[in-house]
């Protein structure tokens, strides 16, 4: 799966015509770090062209690959989340 800012994953422009795009930045892996890198790149460097590549069909990295029902962690949700997209669900622990 590939996410890009303005170009289709097949290397052509979004309308299917034109040469392969040139990217300023290539982000490998759409786990928590890759997603965060893409967000900050788009926000802080809006003129940069980038592609986010992921080998799997879904983004999310380890937390998408491995499911841990009932797992407890010594890290809080803020550590495993994004400051720019805070948890809005019900508290998981009180």
Residue with the bigger pLDDT between 93 and 56: it is: 56
pLDDT at 43: 95
Binning pLDDT at 50, 70 and 90, where does residue 12 land?
very low
> Region 2-13: what's the mean pLDDT?
53
Q: Give the whole-angstrom CA distance, residue 62 versus residue 46.
A: 28
pTM score:
0.62
Q: Distance (Å, rounded) from C-alpha 21 to C-alpha 24? A: 10
Mean pLDDT of the 2-22 span = 59
pLDDT of 71 over the 90 cut? no
pLDDT at residue 58, rounded to an integer: 85
Range of the domain at 56: 2-63
34 belongs to a structural domain: yes
35: in domain: yes
Give the residues across from 13 on adjacent strands: 7
Q: Domain for residue 84, yes or no?
A: no
Q: Does 8 reside within a domain?
A: yes
Instruction: Enter the tokens of residue 19.
Output: 């040469």
Span between the terminal Cα atoms of the chain, in Å: 37
Give the count of domains, the chain: 1
SS3 category, 53: strand
pLDDT for the residue numbered 93:
64
Residue 47 resides in a domain: yes
DSSP string, 47-58: T--EEEE-SSSS
């Amino acid at each position: 799966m590939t996410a890009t800012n303005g170009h289709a994953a097949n290397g052509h422009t979004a309308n299917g015509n034109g040469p392969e795009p040139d990217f300023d930045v290539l982000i490998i892996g759409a786990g928590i770090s890759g997603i965060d890198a893409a967000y900050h790149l788009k926000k802080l460097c809006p003129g940069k062209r980038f592609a986010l590549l992921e080998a799997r069909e879904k983004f999310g990295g380890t937390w998408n690959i491995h499911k841990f029902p009932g797992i407890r962690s010594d890290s809080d949700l803020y550590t495993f989340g994004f400051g720019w997209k805070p948890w809005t669900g019900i508290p998981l622990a009180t």
